[in-house]
Structure 1
Amino acid sequence: MSFTKRNTVLSAPRATHTTVQAKTETQLAPGVRPSPLDGRLTTSTGTASLDQLLAGYGGLPLGTCLLVEEQGTTDFSGVLLRYYAAEGLVQGHHVHALGFPPEWGRQLPALAEPDKKSKSAQPAPPPEEKMKIAWRYESLGNGSNVGAAARGDSSTTAIFCHSFDLTKRLITPSCKGTLQMTPTTGPPTLDRAISSSESSPFKLIIKHLQAKLEASPPTVIHRLIIPSLMSPSLYASGCSRPSEILQFLHAVRALLRQYNTSLTALITLPTSLFPRSSGLIRWIELLCDGVVELIPLPASPAATAPPSSSDRANPRAGDQPQGLLRVHTLPVYHEKGGGGAETGSFRENLSFSLSASKGLQIKPYSLPPMEEEEKKEKSPASAIKDGLEF
């Protein structure tokens, strides 16, 4: 028989650890932020409009590569590579560039100076009028940084995408990362056959990149630049063989999946030399996570003429589209089965324009208004003639 009082409340034993441990968030590497779509880590391509195009991720997801195809003899894709490399150097990333001469590293654009007029014209709101948002979106904390980067504001501590000036060159104090130039061409030869597997430049590049990734800590971000794939001006003659190029892209894809939190790649391809109708290019597109195509428009006489006083007064004079942009596949989006079924900006007719201060801007394409037809007035003789015929 129990002698315990029935009106006594049995107290639970006290916990030994009364203090609650706070959750320590892992510190992200510079230039990396979680995407607002699914929290996947992304990094900027150096072009804000291209970041917004990548299926809502706000940047290039880590562990993926983007293929930029370009028609004609222009070099808009080369400008994207410069922005991509400059953004990585400013953020402190390791940039690996293939095929470029050493002088290419001294041609990267510098950071744009902040616009003092826009700052004075738009004063900061007082603290009490600051809009409060949900904690899950406030933890991202990068929407204002993107806007500040577009305005050239360097006061923020962590800027995701910087703005660059093509008329100036990137100086050493602004570079926090390292640039590794790897040549891909040997002595000129007419022999397309490669003597041994060890002499293949693609295999040597993969070994060098894998050694760098294994030696660096996980918080260090690496960027791989592959310009003008299979171009005879940058690569040896044997590098254009399908067996060599496909094995190289398979190895790059394997490294991207293995180091999916520290490696991204940007590849360019001249479709004038290698059209998309060939089977090799189709295989290359399948091995890349995202594929976009730049189609430059023929230059008009107004574009080649020097700017006049009326053009400077018109703010839309420098916003004329210089080419069309087609999006074939997007990283992660098409792997999930999107395939362009949902509505998105990439389904629209897109155009791009390049300026020294604003960089490369991607926006929906629309035909300009027919101002000459609207402003044209009929003469009195034609009006009388029209009236008699009516």
Structure 2
Amino acid sequence: MSSFVKTSSIRNSINGTKLKNNLPYISSGIPSLDFVIGGGVPAGSIFTIEEDVLGSYSRVLSKYFLAEGVVCKHDLFIASADEDPKMIVQELPQPCATQSHEDKKQVAEGEMKIAWRYESLGQIESSFGSNTNFGHHFDLSKTVEAQTISDCNITFCHLTQELSEVKVFKNPMYHQLLSSIKKVISKEDYMAGNKNNNILRIVIQSLGSPVWFAKECDEDVIDNSYGTDILKFMYCLRALLRDTLAVALVTLPSHLFDDEHLMKRLQYSIDNAVRLESFAGSSKETNPVYNEYHGLFHIEKLSAVHCLVPYVPPSLDLAFKLKRKKFVIEKLHLPPELQESSEREQDDITATPKTTTCGGFKKKDIDF
């Protein structure tokens, strides 16, 4: 019992973490995202994001994840083959201490518009995690100062094509990335039980994108190896992160994968998985039903670390919208059908009784 209390006190003393099921959890930087996945991201886990078509919203989630690490003074590891990782940290949002003026204005307007007879009923919580004390709120319109970024312990890994023979992977870039992560994670600071523990946040941007394949490679070799290399890499990464204080956030351009069953196979080696469906370029962009949102938020898998069953959110019909200052995940509320249509006219005809009322008026003639 004494050893259990000692381990819990050490893990709980890490800045920016909370203890759940004797396991430290960290915030993703977005309170609404922490709420729908069960209170945060557990240490030693892999969190994957299936990118939207343009990849713009997945980059926002990565910036939130890194910005939360900067505020909590966590160590960062950033890897990318599409661009220089040093350019990513230059666009991190700045934390805001208090609730924004727009949020307070929306709450005030909501209280004024609600009818008096419904005030006693509980309101539906559209935006999750607005009242939580875990994590921080950020302002996307402002960026973190360069001096603050330079004071953080950040490891950059810009992946490049190197002609080297690796027996495990056909693409040497996976071996290069795995070796870099293993070199950093082998430090004692990320091993449970050490007094000077700290969290390591790993961000891998666009894993398996077309940039990962060399131009000199044969197309047949690429088609037969890209899925196998990603599966091997994920299993090796999971083995490295287990029983450590490191958390990996991996974005995947799943819409570019030819194998439709690849993501289902990858879910066996990951803990949390979400998918972003953007309305940009689709018919839903002009649909008035979705005019308040920018896309749908799909939960593919939730973690069940140190527990029997995973957390189940109150609603799986989720949507997201990117405001000027923040990214919000809400319940998908469809507006009522206010316009006249053929279906509504048919419903009115079937609902109208043949006999008239005592006043001689039919139901469809009454206008409220």
> Above 0.5 in TM-score?
yes
Q: How many residues align?
A: 296
1:163 and 2:132 correspond: no
Distance 2:270 2:172 in 1: 21
Cα distance in structure 1, aligned partners of 2:178 and 2:229: 12
The alignment partner of 2:336 has SS state of coil
CA contact (8 A) 2:159 2:176 kept: no
For 1:110, the equivalent position in structure 2 comes to 94
Residue aligning to 1:248: 233
Structure number, greater radius of gyration: 1
- Alpha carbons of 1:170 and 1:226: their partners in 2 closer, same or farther (altered >3 Å)? same
1:297 matched to 2:279? The reply is: yes
Does structure 1 retain, via aligned residues, the 8 Å contact 2:32–2:130? no
Q: Measure, in 2, the Cα distance between the counterparts of 1:73 and 1:116.
A: 29
SS of residue paired to 1:201 = helix
CA RMSD in angstroms, aligned pairs only:
3.9
The code of the aligned residue for 1:169 comes to: T
Cα 1:47/1:235, change in 2 over 3 Å: farther
| C-alpha separation in 2, matches of 1:79 and 1:32 | 22
- Equivalent position of 2:327 in the other structure: 360
Distance of aligned partners of 1:91 and 1:373 in 2 relative to their CA distance in 1, 3 Å threshold:
farther
Report the CA distance between 1:202 and its aligned residue.
2.3
Pick aligned residue for 1:41 from 9, 21, 24: 24
Q: What's 2:43 paired with?
A: 62
Q: Distance in 1 between matches of 2:74 and 2:227?
A: 31
Per-residue CA deviation, residues 21-78 of structure 1 (Å, 9 max, x unaligned), is x98943511111113xx34310001111110111x3x110111111111342242111
**Deviation at 1:210?**
2.2
Deviates more, 1:236-245 or 1:319-328: 236-245
- 1:210 alignment partner, one of 182, 188, 212: 182
Q: Which structure 2 residues correspond to residues 177-196 of structure 1 after superposition, within 5 A?
A: 177-186=152-161, 195-196=165-166
1:90 CA drift (Å): 1.5
SS at match of 2:186: helix
Matched residue of 2:211: which SS?
Answer: coil
Please tell me the residue identity of whatever aligns with 1:229: L
Structure 1 residues 83 and 235: CA distance shift in structure 2, 3 A: farther
Tell me the secondary structure at the aligned position of residue 220 of structure 1.
coil
The match for 1:233 is: 211
What is the Cα deviation at residue 269 of structure 1?
1.1
Structure-1 residue corresponding to 2:247:
264
C-alpha displacement at 1:356, in angstroms?
Answer: 2.7
Question: Are residues 1:51 and 2:25 paired?
Answer: no
1:107 deviates by 1.4
CA deviations 1:101-132 (Å, max 9, x no partner) are 122221111223535869999xxxxxxxxxxx
Counterpart pick for 1:345 among 310, 314, 321: 314
Aligned-partner Cα distance in 2 for 1:107–1:344: 31
* CA drift at 1:362: 1.3
Q: Describe the shift of the 1:81–1:232 C-alpha distance in structure 2 as closer, same or farther (beyond 3 A).
A: same
For 1:63, the aligned partner's letter is: G
> Are 2:50 and 2:253, in contact at CA under 8 Å, matched by a contact in 1?
yes
CA 43–229 in structure 1, closer or farther in 2 if over 3 Å, else same: same
Q: Does 2:78 correspond to 1:97?
A: yes
Structure 2 counterpart of 1:130: none
Paired letter, 2:98: P
Distance, in Å, in 2 between the alignment partners of 1:60 and 1:104 is 21
Moved more, 73-82 or 267-276: 267-276
- The AA in structure 2 aligned to 1:53 is V
2:157–2:180 Cα contact (<8 Å) kept? no
Q: 1:168 to 1:197 in 2, by over 3 A?
A: farther
The correspondence for 2:295, drawn from 319, 323, 335, is 323
Change (3 A) 1:267 1:119: closer
Q: Partners of 1:73 and 1:214 in 2: how far apart?
A: 35
How far does residue 164 in structure 1 lie from its aligned partner after superposition? 1.4
How far 1:286 sits from its partner (Å)? 1.8
Work out whether 1:201 is the aligned partner of 2:182. no
Indicate how the Cα distance of structure 1 residues 299 and 365 shifts in structure 2: closer, same or farther if over 3 A, else same: farther
Aligned equivalents of 1:267, 1:72: Cα separation in 2: 16
Secondary structure of 2:174 counterpart: helix
Amino acid at match of 1:177: C
Q: Is contact 1:228-1:234 (8 Å) kept? A: no
CA contact (8 A) 1:67 1:285 kept: no
**Within 1, Cα distance between the matches of 2:185 and 2:55?**
34
* Secondary structure in 2 matching 1:233: helix
Mark the runs of 5 or more structure 2 residues left unpaired by the alignment: 106-128, 191-196, 342-363
